[in-house]
Structure 1
Amino acid sequence: MSNFLRNSSATTNQNGGTHTATVDTRYVRLRENTDGWLKIQPTSSKEMYICEYTKVTMVKSEGGRTYFKVMDGWSAVGLTASLSDANAREFLTKTPPSATIETVKVKYGPRNEEVSPFKGPLLQQWATLNIRGQAITVTLNSDWSGQYSPIPAGSHRIMAPDASHAGTSTQGYRNTYPGRIKANDVWFPIELAGTTGNSTRYVHIGHLSHGCVTVHQIELWNVVYNFLISHRLPNTNGKYVALLEVTK
């Protein structure tokens, strides 16, 4: 059995000298063609899932499994969990997310009809999502029954992924673009200006929007995902990834 160092101060001699052990920190990284979630086994609960770039600290390797503590994000924070040693070597790396403050910009466009092959005529509120100069077509609303509305103009925050959204089927997009679309189950919650927490609006892949920032240009979803997942806003314990500036 091999043990990993934990972050602590310990007395090293009778004179009361201390030293600080080095934390062995890792970050989740996944394969290219994946749904975007890593299944882990907490020691005290059922299986759970964590997203890419979740921070963990190593605890020990024992009985063919590697144990670690989940240190940030929204899922399983504070829990000790494990992976097989082989999966730990593959999916836990030393590469951290970027800790710079990044701003994603959304600019309203026209509102006009699109004929969906699945849903028929849809009145879409189009917009352009801009990531480091790359313009990507999104829709901000597809349902005008009064239950939903496009995201308001303002300065919002994009949160780290909360949980798998496999229940809202987007597998078809991966089937349409085999080997080219990943992390379709990863949705990024939006914290609206003046509020706290998940507004139930998200940045996600798809052709329909219920007030979300829905990446309609499917072939560019990976650009959006890769950018957002690889960033964390400083001093937010891994809970926020970027700022969101929406203008009309």
Structure 2
Amino acid sequence: MRLKSTGDRYSLCEYTKVGMIRDEDDRTYFRVLDGPIAKGKVVWMNSSDAKYFLQRTPAAVSMETLRVTYSRMGEEDSPFKGHLRQQWATLSVAGQNVTVTLNSVWNGVFTPVPPGLHRIMTPDYSHAKTSTEGYRNKYPGKIKANDVWFPIELEGSTGNSSRYIHIGHLSEGCVTVHDIARWNIVYNFLIAHRLPNTEGRYAALLEVTK
């Protein structure tokens, strides 16, 4: 979609709240009503695309909590970066346990997400330039939205802490969903939920324990 005033291209995540304005010259104009991207701006897309992408089902607004529990320190031979130590953990979401890694780099720059009650933000932008496309190629037709990353706001901070929940096999202090086949479970839950009274900027809470 494009910003009406400048023509700049924007990408909005699923379940972003919008308000319809009008259809004109095969364009559908609407206003972005929440979320971290272009809130309050008027944008447009081709009317044929609007019929496909826009829906009337809103995100579920509730106080949902995902839980991450540290497990063992382990090792893995990464096809990308060789032999690595990983801090493994288990992510509990939607009644499922998903294997994640919290850190793969031990040079003092990156650390695992610390214990605490953090907040998961809604996606900020497409991370398509990060090398995760290979997972969709490996699991054709099964992995969705590999470029959608959910920022984490660490307890005691404000905004994106440069840590994310995302798909992958390596972690630089993120909650990286190593169990590739279960990424869709994580994505589907987070994208369809919003914390109340946060104007669509937060998806859920994240409780981390050792």
Q: Decide: shared fold, TM above 0.5.
A: yes
**1:137-157 per-position Cα deviation (integer Å, ceiling 9, x unaligned):** 000000001100000000000
Q: Which residue of 2 aligns with 1:118?
A: 80
Find out whether 1:134 has 2:101 as its counterpart.
no
C-alpha distance in 2, partners of 1:41/1:134? 38
Per-residue deviation, residues 175-194 of structure 1 (Å, max 9, x unmatched): 00000001000000000001
Q: Paired residue for 2:13? A: 51
2:3 is equivalent to residue 42 of structure 1: yes
What residue identity is the alignment partner of 1:185? D
1:133 Cα deviation from its structure 2 partner? 2.3
Shift in Å at residue 169 of structure 1? 1.4
For 1:75, the aligned partner's letter is: I
Tell which structure's C-alpha radius of gyration is larger: 1
| Structure 1 residue 117, shift from structure 2 partner | 2.1
Moved over 4 A (4+): none
For 2:188, the equivalent position in structure 1 comes to 226
Q: Helix, strand or coil: the match of 2:187?
A: helix
Taking only aligned residues, the RMSD between alpha carbons, in angstroms, comes to 0.7
Q: Give per-residue Cα distances to partners, 1:162-205, cap 9 Å, x unaligned.
A: 01111111000000000000100000000000110000000000
Q: Find the aligned partners of 1:72 and 1:167 in 2 and give their Cα distance.
A: 25
* 3-state SS in 1 of match to 2:157: coil
Aligned-partner SS, 1:223: helix
Deviation, 1:62, is: 0.7
For residue 141 of structure 2, the aligned residue among 155, 163, 179 is: 179
Cα deviation code 1:6-32 (max 9, x no counterpart): xxxxxxxxxxxxxxxxxxxxxxxxxxx
Tell me the alpha carbon deviations over residues 210-248 of structure 1, each in whole angstroms, 9 at most, x when there is no partner.
000000000100000000000000110000000000000
Number of aligned positions between the proteins: 209
Separation (CA, whole Å) in 2 of partners of 1:112 and 1:76: 42
Calculate percent identity across the aligned residue pairs: 61
Compute the displacement of 1:76 (Å).
1.2
Helix, strand or coil: the match of 1:245? strand
Shift of 1:77: 1.0
Which structure's relative contact order is higher, taking Cα pairs within 8 Å and 6+ residues apart?
2
In structure 2, C-alpha distance between the alignment counterparts of 1:186 and 1:103, rounded to whole Å: 19
The answer as to whether partners of 2:94 and 2:185 remain within 8 angstroms in 1 is no
* 1:78 is aligned to 2:40: yes
The runs of 5 or more residues in structure 1 that have no matched partner are 1-39
Partner residue, 1:159? 121
Give distance in 2, aligned partners of 1:226 and 1:219. Answer: 13
* Ranges in structure 2 where 5+ consecutive residues have no aligned partner: none
* Aligned partners of 2:31 and 2:43 also within 8 Å: yes
